[in-house]
Amino acid sequence: MKSIVMITLAFVLLIPLTAFAQESLNCPPGAYHGLDNAGNDACRDVQTNQIVESLPKPIPESKINSPSSLSKIITFSDDSTPLILLVGMVVIGVVGISAFKIIGKNNLNKQKQKEVKKTKERIKKDKQKNLEEEFRLKKIHDERQKHQEQEDREGDKIRQYIIEEQKRKKNMKKEQTLPTNKALLDWINEDKRQKEVKEEKEKKAKEKENKKQEIIDEEEFQEKIKNNETLYDYAVVESIQDTASLRIFYDSEKKSTKYWNETGLLDRIHFKDEEIKEELKITQNKITMRISVESGGKHKFAKLISGGSMDFWDHDIGGYNLQIHFSKPEEFLKAVMMKHIRASLSKVQIHDSEYSISAILVRQDADYDDASNILKRIIHHFCDEMLETGDILVEKK
């Protein structure tokens, strides 16, 4: 590119000089255009190199007969040489500036291309470096994990060995302490048998007492019915603190009517007809209710051990814990109770089994007075509905 620009400059510089030289003098045959001793344009003989007279410039015929055109003939004399040089220098300057701009622009483009290329190479190297680093870290992680698994396996073997050794020593100790006297062994077995017989008798006596109490309760209930009295006492509910028991005495006809009027409480797909019939045969049931308060705590210190020791601050969450137990499993009775628990406590968590209900309500500001009010409210609503099936005896504990 530079060589092309220099050739162009030389060509441009030669054009005006030769043109002006040709127009400044008209040398005769056998002479050439040159300079005199003073540096001015002159014609010199080719053989002797002496200065000869220049020929006058021919005048076009179209201008010979026109007097007005004589004044317009432009001739270059010796005095016009500086002007010619100035014009040539201006042309040279313009062409040079343009050439330098072109060269500078090309150099700038080349520089930018080099920078872009370097940037791409640097990004490529960085990516390669990152990939190598990721591979190295993964390799280290795999080695550590493999080492940790090996340590865990060895630790499991050691722990298993310790457990087996402890069992072996314990068995040896038992064997050493076992009496060899057959009479003593017989005495131990007899004592164990007597304890089992005693427990069985106590269990039967308790069941007999419960049945007797149920008969008494039933008789009292029937007596109150004859006298048009009711077992349910609102004032007893108001005196409850945190524990209460509810004895329910069903009226078979009212209970059956209540069951079939409240079909929305039971899942008729899973709650089979035979199960409903079995529930309808139940004449009495007892419900034990207890509510406890967890006030929670703040700034309790705890320690977590996971591959080492790490201490942190923790605190318990406060709230209420309601525990309900049924002496006999009744899905309908349990459904009614859960309905009133949900109606009395918002955002409560309920877990139920065949014989029990556990309800948990999280509250950081839980207190005992509020717990007692919650229990009373649930009992009131529950009894108001279940009185449609018979009578209820409320007992505070």
What distances in angstroms separate CA 23 from CA 41, 51, 62, one per listed residue?
11, 18, 19
Backbone angles phi, psi at 20, to 5 degrees: -65, -35
- Residue 92's closest CA among 205, 195, 14? 14
Q: How far apart are CA 172 and CA 160, in angstroms?
A: 18
Angle of the 2-24 helix axis to the 81-177 helix axis, nearest 10: 170
User: For tokens 């060589």, what's the residue?
Assistant: 3
pLDDT digits (tens, 9 = 90+) for 57-114: 666 555 444 444 444 444 444 555 677 778 888 888 888 888 778 887 888 888 888 8
Q: Which of 32-46, 171-185, 230-244 has the lowest mean pLDDT?
A: 171-185
Residue 7 has pLDDT above 80, yes or no: no
**DSSP 8-state class, residue 71:** G
Q: How far apart are CA 193 and CA 326, in angstroms?
A: 32
258, 390 in Cβ contact below 8 A? no
391, 232 in Cβ contact below 8 A? yes
Q: How far apart are CA 231 and CA 237, in angstroms?
A: 12
**Percent of all residues in the chain with a pLDDT value above 90, rounded to a whole number:** 15
How remote is the C-alpha of 74 from its chain's centroid? 91
* Residue 290: per-residue pLDDT: 94
351, 313 in Cβ contact below 8 A? no
* Residue 244: per-residue pLDDT: 92
Helix residue ranges, H only, the chain: 2-24, 61-64, 81-177, 182-226, 234-238, 252-261, 273-280, 331-344, 368-386
* Residue 204: per-residue pLDDT: 85
What distances in angstroms separate CA 190 from CA 174, 187, 199, 239, 260, one per listed residue?
20, 5, 14, 50, 55
- When comparing pLDDT for 196 and 10, which is higher? 196
The upper half-sphere exposure of residue 346, i.e. CA atoms within 13 Å in the direction of its Cβ, equals 0
Q: How far apart are CA 189 and CA 114, in angstroms?
A: 100
